[in-house]
Each structure stands twice: as C-alpha cells, then as structure tokens.
C-alpha cells in the first residue's frame, strides 16, 4: 500500500449549488455522488484521493477522501482544510480513541476504532491484546494503509496487525477482498479473550469479521443475569457469545446453535477453558430448521436468544429482512418457558428500532404468546454512536418476558 498524504497540489472538489452544505458544516460526514460536481477531472481522481471540499461558493469545508466509484463519493476526514493526513495525524486519532477505551476496560479487549464515530471513516479496528485486526472498508484507508498501520503499532506497541479486507462494505467501495498480516506475524491459533467473566476463542485469521463481536458485550451480560440458575438456547451463537457469558454467571445448561462447525468448535474450546464444557451442548444446522425441530421435540428453555446476521443490510432488503426477523420471533417464542425470557437482536442499520421491535412483537403474537418488553440494549460504549450518522448505531437487542 502507498503512504500518500495530500501535497501542495491537493485537488479540490465542490458541492453542487443545490447540495445542502449545512449538514456537512454541522457534522454529517458524507457527501453523496448526486451532491458533488463530478466533472471529468473529479471522475478521474484515483479512489481514496485526499481532496479539499468546497461549497458552491468556494468556501472550504475541510479535507475529504474521494472515491468516484462509490455512492458515498466523499468522506470527511478533517474540518481543517490545511491539515496533513499522515502518520502523526493517524496517531493523534488513535490516541484519542485509546484514552476512551482505557477509561472503560481494564483488559486490552475491545473495539479501538469505530469508523466515523472515532474520526476514521470506514475503518474498524478491534484489539485482542497484542494483536490488532483492522478492516479498511473505505478506499482511502487502503491507500494510506502503511501510515495507519505504523501509527497503530507506535501508539499501542502491539506485536501484530492483521488486515481483514473482506465483506460487503468493501464491495460497495469497489475494493477487492484481502486478508493478510501488515505487521508482525500471523497468530498460530485462536486468541483467548476474557469478557464478562467468560473465555472466548477468537479466530482472527479465519473467523467472521474480526473474529469476535465486541458490540454485544453489555447484552451478553444482561442475558447472563436472566439465565442464572436456568437454561439458555443461544441461536446464531457464533463462538458462544451469549451462551458462555450465561455459563459464567451460573446457567445450568446451554444449547448453542450455529451453521458454522468451526465457530461451534471454538465455543466448546471456550467452555473447556472455563471448566464448564459439561454444561454446553452444540448443534450445527440451519437456525430456522433447528428452531422448528426443537419445537417438535417439545423443548423449552428459561432464556432464548437469537442473534442473527444482518437480514436487512440495505434499504432495498428492508421488507424481506423484517419478515425474517418476524419469522425468527415466531419460531423462537414457543421455546420459551412460561415466565421465561426471549432476547432478539438485529445488526441491520436499515431496520430501525421501531421497525425491528414491531416485527419481533408480531412474530411473538403469531406464535400465540404474549409478553412484556423488559429491556432494550445497544452496542457497548466502545462502539460510540455518531449523532449525525444513524448507521453508526446499528445494533438493537430487545428482551421480552413471555
């Protein structure tokens, strides 16, 4: 990757006269392609170019990263149009993010950088002790990867930085998938992560996303309290997020369901490390089919948790996604013992809380059950919400007592 910051010849891009500059001035971090003058010069800019953004009156608004191939054609980097985007600039942003996480956590396991919310648009950085996993989901982060990685190593003094350049977001930026090690050596096996008194095994080189979902940490803890002394069904369990937290809090039995055999194997390894493997059962299979089969078996649990992948990753998928969330609720509700708890989660930013909650409630009603909403959870504070960007607050978890 090239380490190219802007130069005295930094190009300029300009908003169309009809574009609303007020949103940018007040903190909105994106410019859409239909808001920018896209002449031949602008269209020829390489993806990830750093440019000065001006309004239609030629007033400077700041420095942006430009990608003519993306619907989000500009991402705001710095309100100072004369700033220099280099290793020192990255280090300042990372130090600021680190101070917040070190205020929250006593162990080095957390999301260090949450994209726009931490001033690094499209960049995700998760920390696993001396190993850091970065997702460069925007073209500018690819272009300046060397400076960004050097800043991470310098500020955190970590041994290894893994680049996980895979996923839907990169496709929307016109970027190829890539997985590799940018600094240090690749971990030889899964990394043990202590969280909520449980031990998780994160496969940072072959697992989903960065290897572990830190965003659910507070929801894991809440659900674990509900399951103390009881049983839990953890559906879409990945590496045992809800189930292992429940076992750490004294659940008597957990059944974890997932379609990935490697993820379930890591869940069992975590249970072994905790000394509770005799209380964890895993079952690989399609979640919908398995929920139906458990109902046929007459199975019931004190707590049922369903944490599926994003069924509505975009507005075009919203209607189908809401139907899928409703179906999950309808199939899960009969498995909850009377007076027990059902936790339903969504990581789809296109499905806002009201739409998601309504879909879940419809599904519970269609199953012939009634309940109270006792708690609504969101991502932990290491996933800060940017007030101007709804997409940064994607995670919802609604807990019912049936």
Cα separation values, 118 from 37, 145, 244, Å: 28, 17, 30
Across the range 31-50, mean pLDDT stands at 96
Across the range 352-369, mean pLDDT stands at 97
Per-residue 3-state assignment (H helix, E strand, C coil) for 228-281? CCCEEEEECCCCCHHHHHHHHCCCCEEEEEECCHHHHHHHHHHHHHHCCHHHEE
How many whole angstroms separate alpha carbon 249 and alpha carbon 55? 55
Tell me: pLDDT of 1 over 50.
Answer: no
Tell me: pLDDT of 2 over 50.
Answer: no
Taking each continuous run of H as one helix and of E as one strand, the counts in the chain are: 12, 19
Tell me: pLDDT of 218 over 60.
Answer: yes
The CA-to-CA distance between both ends of the chain, in Å, stands at 53
CATH topology for 12-78 is: 2.30.130
- pLDDT in the model for residue 8: 53
Q: How many residues does the chain have?
A: 402
> Phi and psi of 27, rounded to 5°?
125, -10
How many whole angstroms separate alpha carbon 5 and alpha carbon 10? 9
How many whole angstroms separate alpha carbon 400 and alpha carbon 321? 20
The pLDDT confidence band at residue 168, using thresholds 50, 70 and 90, is confident
- pLDDT in the model for residue 207: 79
- pLDDT in the model for residue 22: 82
CATH superfamily of 87-183: RNA methyltransferase domain (HRMD) like (3.30.750.80)
Tens digits of residue pLDDT in 181-191: 999 999 999 99
Tens digits of residue pLDDT in 83-100: 999 999 999 999 999 999
Tens digits of residue pLDDT in 272-291: 999 999 999 999 999 999 99
Where do the domains of the chain lie?
Answer: 12-78, 87-183, 192-401
CATH superfamily of 192-401: Vaccinia Virus protein VP39 (3.40.50.150)
Mean pLDDT estimate for the chain: 95
Tens digits of residue pLDDT in 51-69: 999 999 999 999 999 999 9
């Amino acid at each position: 990757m090239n380490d190219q910051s802007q130069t005295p010849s930094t190009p300029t891009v300009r908003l169309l006269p009809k574009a609303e500059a007020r949103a940018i001035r007040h903190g909105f971090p994106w410019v859409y392609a239909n808001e920018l003058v896209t002449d031949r010069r602008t269209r020829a800019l390489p993806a990830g170019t750093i440019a000065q953004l001006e309004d239609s009156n030629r007033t400077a608004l700041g420095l942006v990263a430009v990608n003519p191939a993306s619907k989000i054609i500009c991402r705001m980097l710095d309100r100072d149009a004369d700033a220099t985007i280099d290793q020192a600039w990255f280090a300042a942003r990372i130090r600021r993010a680190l101070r917040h996480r070190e205020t929250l956590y006593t162990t080095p396991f957390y999301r260090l950088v949450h994209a726009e919310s931490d001033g690094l648009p499209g960049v995700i950085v998760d920390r696993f002790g001396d190993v850091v996993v970065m997702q460069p989901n925007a073209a500018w982060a690819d272009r300046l990867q060397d400076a960004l990685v050097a800043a991470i190593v310098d500020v955190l003094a970590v041994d290894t930085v893994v680049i996980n350049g895979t996923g839907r977001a990169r496709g929307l930026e016109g970027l190829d998938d890539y997985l590799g090690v940018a600094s240090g050596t690749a971990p030889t096996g899964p990394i043990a992560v202590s969280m909520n008194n449980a031990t998780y095994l994160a496969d940072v080189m072959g697992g989903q996303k960065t290897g572990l979902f830190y965003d659910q940490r507070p929801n894991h803890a809440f659900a674990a309290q509900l399951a103390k002394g009881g049983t839990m069904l953890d559906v879409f369990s990945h590496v045992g997020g809800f189930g292992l937290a429940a076992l750490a809090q004294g659940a008597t039995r957990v059944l974890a369901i997932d379609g990935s055999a490697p993820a379930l194997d890591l869940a069992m390894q975590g249970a072994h490390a905790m000394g509770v493997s005799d209380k964890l059962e895993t079952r690989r299979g399609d979640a919908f089919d398995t929920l139906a089969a458990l109902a046929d078996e007459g199975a019931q649990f004190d707590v049922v948790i369903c944490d599926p992948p994003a069924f509505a990753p975009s507005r075009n998928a919203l209607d189908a996604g809401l139907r899928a969330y409703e179906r999950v609720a309808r199939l899960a509700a009969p498995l909850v013992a009377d007076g027990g708890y059902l936790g339903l989660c969504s990581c789809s930013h296109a499905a806002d809380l009201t739409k998601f909650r309504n879909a879940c409630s419809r599904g519970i009603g269609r199953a012939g059950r009634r309940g109270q909403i006792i708690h609504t959870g969101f991502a932990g504070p290491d996933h800060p919400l940017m007030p101007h960007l709804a997409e940064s607050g994607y995670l919802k978890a609604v807990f019912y007592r049936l």
